Amino acid sequence: MTNHTSETEFKSLCEGKLFFCDFPELAVDDEILNEKLVKYNNEWNAQKRMEIFKTIVGHVGEHVKMIGPFYCNFGRYISIGDNCIINFNCTVLEGGPVTIGNRVLIGPNCNLIGISHTTCEKIRNYGACTALGKPIVIKDGAWLGAGVIVLPGVTIGKNAVIGAGSVVTHDIPDDMIAVGSPARPIRKVSEYPDWTPDQRDVPLN
C-alpha cells in the first residue's frame, strides 16, 4: 500500500520542488516494487507476466504487449493506453506522471527519464539524494525507435516518430519525424490514406 510520506514527496516533485530520497517510508516502497519487478522480469508465462505488470503500473489499457525486462522507480504514476507495444529493456523513471497514449510503439532499450538533479553539488548530495522532476507525455500513435532517451518535461506529439538513438530534450510536434541529439524535427511522417493490408510492397520511409 502506498504511504502518505512518499505521496507527499512525489507531489513536491511534480510541482518542481526538490524531492528528498532519504526517508524510511520510501525504502519500504522500494522493497515492495523491487519484489514485483523481479517477479515480472523472471516470469516466462506471458499471461502471468502481464498480471504482475498490472500491479506495478497505475494503468494498463487493452491489448498491450510488454516484452521484458522492464524497470521503473515508482510504477504507480505510469499510464499506458490501448494497443501499445513496449519492447525489451525499457526503463521509466517517474519524476511526474508518465502518460503513454494509445497505439504507441516503444523500441528496445528506450529510457523515459522524468527525473533529474541540480548542478549544485551541495544540494544534489544533501542526504542520500535530492531530485527534480517533470512529467512526460507520449501521445497516440507515436513510435520511439531503439535506444531513444526522453528527458523530463517532454511531450512527443501524436503519430510522431523518433529516430533510433535520439535524445529528446524538447517537445516534438504531431506528425513529425525527429532525429539526433538533441532530437530535431526533420520532416513530416509518411501518409498512405488508401493503404490496405494486402498492399505489402509499401516502401519503408
pLDDT value, residue 1: 42
User: CA-CA distance, 27 to 131, in Å (whole number)?
Assistant: 16
Q: What are the contacts of 196-204 at 24+ separation with CB within 8 A?
A: none
Q: State the pTM of this model.
A: 0.90
pLDDT value, residue 22: 66
pLDDT value, residue 45: 93
Kind plus residue range of the DSSP H or E element containing 53: helix 46-56
pLDDT value, residue 25: 66
Contacts (Cβ under 8 Å, ≥6 apart) of 77:
10, 58, 94, 96, 97, 98
Q: What is the mean pLDDT of each run of 10 residues along the chain (205 residues)?
A: 58 71 70 94 94 96 95 94 98 94 98 90 76 92 98 97 98 98 96 84 75
DSSP state of 65: E
Residues 142 and 158 sit within 8 Å (Cβ to Cβ): yes
Q: Are strands 161-162 and 98-100 parallel, antiparallel or unpaired?
A: unpaired
pLDDT value, residue 193: 84
Q: Would you list the domain boundaries of the chain?
A: 4-187
* Domain at 4-187: CATH code: 2.160.10.10
The answer to whether the peptide bond before residue 135 is cis (omega within 30 degrees of 0) is: no
User: CA-CA distance, 97 to 154, in Å (whole number)?
Assistant: 11
- For residue 149, list its beta bridge partners: 111, 167
In three-state secondary structure terms, 120 is: coil
Of the candidates 65, 162, 74, which has an alpha carbon nearest to the alpha carbon of residue 110? 162
User: CA-CA distance, 64 to 89, in Å (whole number)?
Assistant: 16
Residues known to be catalytic? 117
